[in-house]
């Protein structure tokens, strides 16, 4: 991650960061690791779940989230896809909701709550919403070649005690995510193979039963013509 924009002069919050980057960029992993190192809890909120039928409903839900963070204290409030609450259901800028967001951010200035927001594209962030954040960061996703270099580098190190944690920290979650995807794929393949084996075993048992039945019939003479 590298900072692409200077501090917003008229931002309302002294401890807030907006991360800009596509899904899978490692921001969630990085935030969780930073929180762990600082001894902070992370309250993840999917902003799509805050959307209501009206601006008033969305505003109320946003305020409830900030109340919860304030009561919790000493935490990171992470708003995923924060851009979605800045638009009403007709796709127009929702000044009411962004205004509520600003008000709640101001209330947190004297608290120990850090607010983090994520959005996939800069173009999705209105000027009004942009001004809420004291810092904005673009998170670039490394290409396949860069990820391969990361992989080679991390495994060239002496065997650390907590290798997976170091892996996640030093690659911003990219390679860690790759490993997770590979692990899930391997599990899926293993389950499929287990299923195939079960079918084969079941078929073999059925064949044995048919064979045994035929032998019994032959012994009783029923099977002779």
Residues 62/105, Cβ–Cβ less than 8 Å: no
Q: What is the pLDDT of residue 193?
A: 57
Strand-pair partners of 3: 137
Q: What is the pLDDT of residue 157?
A: 67
Q: What is the pLDDT of residue 54?
A: 94
pTM: 0.62
Alpha-carbon dihedral 54, 55, 58, 63, rounded to 10 degrees: -140
Q: What is the pLDDT of residue 87?
A: 92
Q: What is the pLDDT of residue 112?
A: 83
Alpha-carbon distance of 156 to 176, in angstroms, equals 16
Alpha-carbon dihedral 137, 44, 81, 84, rounded to 10 degrees: -130
pLDDT tens for the chain, 225 residues long, are 444 444 444 444 457 899 998 876 778 878 888 888 888 899 999 999 999 999 999 999 999 999 999 888 789 999 999 999 999 989 899 999 999 999 999 888 777 889 999 999 999 999 999 999 988 988 877 777 777 776 677 667 666 566 656 665 555 556 656 666 666 666 666 655 555 555 556 666 566 665 666 666 555 554 444
Alpha-carbon distance of 108 to 72, in angstroms, equals 12
């Amino acid at each position: 991650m590298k900072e692409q924009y200077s501090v917003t002069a008229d931002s309302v919050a002294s401890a807030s960061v907006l991360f800009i980057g596509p899904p899978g960029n490692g921001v969630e992993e990085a935030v969780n690791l930073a929180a762990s190192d600082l001894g902070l809890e992370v309250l993840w909120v999917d902003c799509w779940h805050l959307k209501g039928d009206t601006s008033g409903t969305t505003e109320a839900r946003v305020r409830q989230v900030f109340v919860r963070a304030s009561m919790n204290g000493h935490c990171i409030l992470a708003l995923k896809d924060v851009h979605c609450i800045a638009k009403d259901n007709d796709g127009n800028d929702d000044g009411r909701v962004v205004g509520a967001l600003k008000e709640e951010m101001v209330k947190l200035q004297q608290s120990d709550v850090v607010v983090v927001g994520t959005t996939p594209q800069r173009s999705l962030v209105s000027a009004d919403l942009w001004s809420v954040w004291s810092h904005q960061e673009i998170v670039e996703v490394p290409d396949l070649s860069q990820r391969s270099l990361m992989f080679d580098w991390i495994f060239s190190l002496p065997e650390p005690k907590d290798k997976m944690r170091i892996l996640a920290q030093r690659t911003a979650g990219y390679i860690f995510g790759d490993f997770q995807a590979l692990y899930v794929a391997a599990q899926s393949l293993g389950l499929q193979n287990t299923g195939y084996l079960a079918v084969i075993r079941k078929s073999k048992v059925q064949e044995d039963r048919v064979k045994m039945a035929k032998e019994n019939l032959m012994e009783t003479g029923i099977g002779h013509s």
